[in-house]
Amino acid sequence: MLQIFLQGFAVYFIVWWITLFAVLPIGLRTQAEDNDIVLGTVHSAPTRFRAAFVFSMTTLISAIIYALWYIASNYFGWGFDALPQIGPSFSNV
């Protein structure tokens, strides 16, 4: 039971981490756009970082993606074996 939970958590963590980098630029305002450039920073640095928004959106979107993956794998039987093979097979079987 613990192994199943840890596998599910590992998949959710990977999905969450990838989704974080997709959500980070949403709604981002740079210092150059706001004409408020702080000395010693890059012009493309964010004016203010909205951590609560980014982390909540990342958690919500990754939960939806994980739920779709869970339904597809457990109820429909779709997995990595169902994907078409694009490259050559190197097995001797």
4-to-9, 11, 65, 76 alpha-carbon distances in Å: 9, 11, 18, 18
pTM of the model: 0.74
At residue 93 the predicted structure's pLDDT band, cuts being 50, 70 and 90, is low
pLDDT value for 58? 97
Residue spans of the domains in the chain: they are 20-34+46-72
Name 30's bridge partners: 46
Q: Which tokens go with 47?
A: 């004016």
pLDDT value for 81? 72
